[in-house]
Chains A and B, each alone.
Chain A
Amino acid sequence: MIRVENLQKSFVGVRALDGVTFDIPQGQVVGLLGPNGAGKTTMMRILTGFVAPTGGQAWVDGIDVQDDPVACQRRIGYLPEGNPLYTDLRVREALAFAAEMQGLRGAAARDAIREAVEQVGLADVVHRTIGTFSKGYRQRVGLAQALLHRPPVLILDEPTTGLDPNQQQDMRDLIRRLGRERTVVLSTHILPEVEAVCQRALIIAKGRLVADGTIDEVRAQGRGEACARITVRGTLEQARAAFAGLPFVGSVSAEAAPAPGLSALRVALAGHADADRLEALAAACHAARLPLSRLEAHAARLEDVFAVLTEQAPAATEEVA
C-alpha cells in the first residue's frame, strides 16, 4: 500500500532523510519510531505530498506521489504534526470545508461529516468554535478531518502528543479500531504505544532506517537481553551455583532483598524468556533446595533496544534540525 525506495531529502545544509526503503502491505499498522529530528515528520510529509523528496520515490496504492500527488492525497487521511487547525471556525464549518476539498457534496458530505464526528466523539460539540477546545478535543477534530473521506491509508504524526493519559488511551483504542480495515502509519516516541497499537515498527535515526520488523524482531535486532526476576530463600552464591549448569543463563546479579534471608535476583537470559527456560530455572532452584517465591519473565525492553539502535546509527552529514 505504501512503498518507499531510497528516499532522500536534503534541506539547506541538512540531510533529513538519507536513503530510506520500506514496503507496507495493505492493512498493516506501522509505528514510525525515532528520536526527535530523526526524519519521521519529513517522511510523512513526503508521503502526503507536502514536501518533495530530493531523491528516491514513494508510492501510495501504486501511485507515484510525485507524479500525481492529488490522487495519493485522496487516499490518505493525514494528521500533521502539532495538529494545525482553523481555530476561528466551528467544528462543523471546518469539516464542511474539508469535505468540499475532498470533493464531497450535499448528502454525501453530510453523511461523511456525521460519521466522522460520531467516530471520534465530537457529535455534541459540532457547533462550537475550535479555538475554545482543549488539546484532546482539538486532536479529535484533526482526526475527524483525516477520516472524513474514508481514506484507506491513515498517516498520523504523533497523534497522542500532549494528551493526558486517559486521552492517550482513548486515542490508542481509536487507532487500533481504525487499523482493523486500514493501513496506518503513526509516528511516536512513546514506545509502549507502538507495542500496544502496531504490528510492525520502523525505527529511523539520523535519516536512516535502523530497524524494521515486528516488535519481537526489532527487539532481536537491537540485541536487547531478556531476563528473569527470581526471589529465593538463600544467598546469591547458592543461586549462582544452582544455575551454573544452565547454558542460557548469563550474569546473575542481586537486587534489593525483600526480606532477611531472601535474595532477589536478576538472571540475564540469552534469547527469549520463554516457558522452557523459566521451567528450567524453577527446576534448578528445586534441585538446589532453594525455596522459590517469585519467578517473572521480562522481555527485552524496547527502550533499551531503541537506545542501542539509535545511538549506533552511522552519523549523517550534519546534525538534523
Chain B
Amino acid sequence: MSPQPAPARPGCGAQSLGVLRKELRATLVSPIPYILVALFALALSYVFFYGLDERRNPSFWLLSTASVNTLFGVIPVAFAVLVPALTMRMWSEEMRAGTLETLRTMPVSAGALVLGKFLACWVLLAACLLATLPIVLTVDGLGDLDWGPVWGGYLGAMFLGGALVALGLWISGLTRHQVVAFLVTLFAGLVLCQLLTSMASDANSGLGPVFHAIALDARYDALGRGVLEVRDLAYFASFTAFFLYLNAESIDSRRYA
C-alpha cells in the first residue's frame, strides 16, 4: 500500500452520519440506553396511570377521559432529566479518553462532528419517546382518542428534546467531567422547563413576559394542545441551532487553549 493522493474532500453530511453511527454503536454496547428507555417508559406510565397530585396531574382513571394530555404535560420535566443522561458523555468522554485528539486531527469540521452527535442523541431520544406509545395505544383501546393532539405532542416533544440536546451537548463540550456536564445540564433544563414558567406566573416585575418567552415548556404546552404554531417551532429550531453553533465554536476554540 503506497501513499496515494487523498480522495475527494469528504462531504460534511456523510461525515455527520459516520459520527452518528459511531455514537450509536458506542452507546448501544453499554447498558445505559436500555436503562434510560425502560425508566422513561416506566416513570411516564406511573405518572399517567397513578397521577402525581389530584389537582395538576391527576391519574388517567380519575380524569376518565380518553386523552393523553397529562402524559405530554410531564414530558418537559422528564426530558430535563433524561436529556442530560444522553448528552453528558458525548464530549466529556472524548476529552477524558483523549479521543478528542484523534477526532480533531481527522479531516472533519467541528460542525460535522457536532451535527453527528446531535443526531445520535436525537435518535436515542426518539427511541425513548417511542417507548411511551403503549400508553397511548392503551388509551386508544379504552376510549375514542383524538390523535391530532397526540401527533402534535410527539412532534413538539422532538423539537423540545432537540433544543435540550443542543444545550446539553454544548455543556458537555465545556468539561471533561461527565457528572459536571450532567448536573449543569439538569439544572439548566429544569430552569428552562419548569422554573421560568412558575416565575413568569407570579412575577410582579416586568420580567414575566420575558421569562414566559424563554421558557421551553410553555411553548411545548401549546403544541401539546394540538395547536401547531410556526412561531413555537421556530423558537425551538433557533434555540437548537444557537447552541449547536456555540458547541462547534467551543470545540474549535480548544485549539487556541
Contacts and interface: CB of A to CB of B under 8 A. Distances in A.
A82 interface: yes
Interface stretch (B2-10, B183-191, B194-202, B239-247): B2-10
A49 B255 contact: yes
Given A45-B101, A76-B105, A85-B99, A101 B2 contact: no
B107 A181 contact: no
Given A11-B257, A85-B99, A73 B14 contact: no
B15 A101 contact: yes
Interface in B1-35: 1-4, 6-11, 14-15, 17-19, 21-22, 25-26, 29-30
Nearest to B109: A70
A102 B106 contact: yes
Interface range, B side:
35 or more
Contact of B107 (A102, A147, A152): A102
Interface string A42-55: 00010011111000
Interface string B80-116: 0000000000000000011111111111110000000
A100 B21 CA distance: 10
B143 to A, nearest CB: 45
Contact of A93 (B25, B98, B255): B25
Nearest to B16: A100
Given A52-B255, A88-B26, A80 B101 contact: yes
Contacts, number: 113
B9 to A, nearest CB: 7
Interface stretch (A103-111, A132-140, A210-218, A275-283): A103-111
A181 B257 CA distance: 35
B7 A108 contact: yes
A84 B17 CA distance: 22
A115 B3 CA distance: 12
Contacts of A116: 1
A288 B74 CA distance: 103
A172 interface: no
Contacts of B15: 100-101, 103
Contacts of B102: 78, 80, 84-85, 145
Contact of B18 (A73, A76, A88, A101): A101
B110 to A, nearest CB: 11
Nearest to A47: B105
Given A49-B104, A100-B18, A115 B26 contact: no
A70 B22 contact: no
Nearest to A78: B105
Interface in B39-66: none
B14 A50 contact: no
Contact of B25 (A75, A89, A150): A89
A98 B255 CA distance: 21
Contacts of A74: 6, 9, 107
A120 to B, nearest CB: 11
Interface string A92-127: 010001101111110010000001100100000000
Contacts of B97: 84-87
A50 B1 contact: no
A50 B104 contact: yes
A182 interface: yes
Nearest to A98: B106
Contacts of A82: 98
B106 A101 contact: yes
A69 to B, nearest CB: 8
Contacts of B105: 48-50, 73, 76, 78, 80
Contacts of A73: 105-107
Given A74-B6, A88-B26, 12 more contacts: A50-B104, A80-B98, A84-B101, A85-B99, A89-B26, A93-B25, A100-B15, A103-B8, A104-B7, A129-B29, A181-B2, A182-B3
Closest 4 CB pairs of A and B: A103-B10, A100-B18, A84-B98, A152-B3
